[in-house]
Amino acid sequence: MKKLLIALLAVSFVGACSPSVRRIETNVVKDVSGGWNDTDAQMVAQEMITDCLNGGWYTKFLMQKGKEPTVIVGTVNNKTMEHINTDVFIEEMQRALINSGKVNFVASKDERGEIRTERLEQDEFASEETRKAFGREIGADFMLSGVLSSVVDQAGSKAVVFYQVNLKLINIETNQIVWNGQKQIKKFVKRSKVSF
């Protein structure tokens, strides 16, 4: 009887702790914690893309060089107190900029290392007809880099969280900053008291 009671308690405890999961559309805004989320990343990417492509740097480059600019993604530092994967909105920006047909991208530092290793292996193991040559990479004209910062003002169960994203496009040859985009997001978060 004692074993049966322990087994029933264990089953009810496991059942009470299991999560409830429901799929939702990816375009649905759902703030759970009040922290940085996918909606914030998408908002930042959309506004930054528009601002970046409408900047005077783009027209000036086209007139001077007669071709679309090539960009590489540098470092985007997360200086908030949260764990934020900045790759989410950087990848969104990169995808949209490439799909605009106005900007070309080259592989990032990490991606290039993997590709160069593959090229080395092809040099040794691939047939002459399919082997890819060294020294044919395209150099980037600009580097996209930036920082994500936040300020939290909290009292009791209420907080205001302010996020600021600054991205820069830097001319690799001259170190000139040709575009500096900024997006700010402010959230008011009120937590209810949990009673047990």
Closest alpha carbon to 81 in 182, 163, 166, 150: 150
| pLDDT 10s digits, 97-125 | 888 899 999 998 888 899 999 999 999 99
Q: Take residue 9 and report the two structure tokens written for it.
A: 């308690």
Q: Residue 196 has what pLDDT?
A: 38
Q: Residue 1 has what pLDDT?
A: 60
Q: Which residues of the chain have pLDDT under 70?
A: 1-18, 21-34, 193-196
Closest alpha carbon to 146 in 64, 79, 57: 79
78 burial level (CB within 10 Å; 0-12, 13-18, 19+): middle
Q: Residue 178 has what pLDDT?
A: 96
Measured distance CA(107)–CA(122) in Å, rounded: 19
Q: Mutual orientation of helices 38-53 and 87-99 as an angle, nearest 10°?
A: 40
Closest alpha carbon to 97 in 47, 153, 49: 49
Measured distance CA(49)–CA(59) in Å, rounded: 15
Q: Residue 155 has what pLDDT?
A: 86
Q: Could you tell me the pTM of the whole model? A: 0.76
Measured distance CA(180)–CA(170) in Å, rounded: 9
Measured distance CA(41)–CA(95) in Å, rounded: 13
Residues in contact with 105: Cβ distance below 8 Å, sequence separation at least 6, in sequence order: 70, 71, 72, 73, 94, 97, 98
Q: Residue 29 has what pLDDT?
A: 58
What does the radius of gyration of the chain's CA atoms come to, in whole angstroms? 24
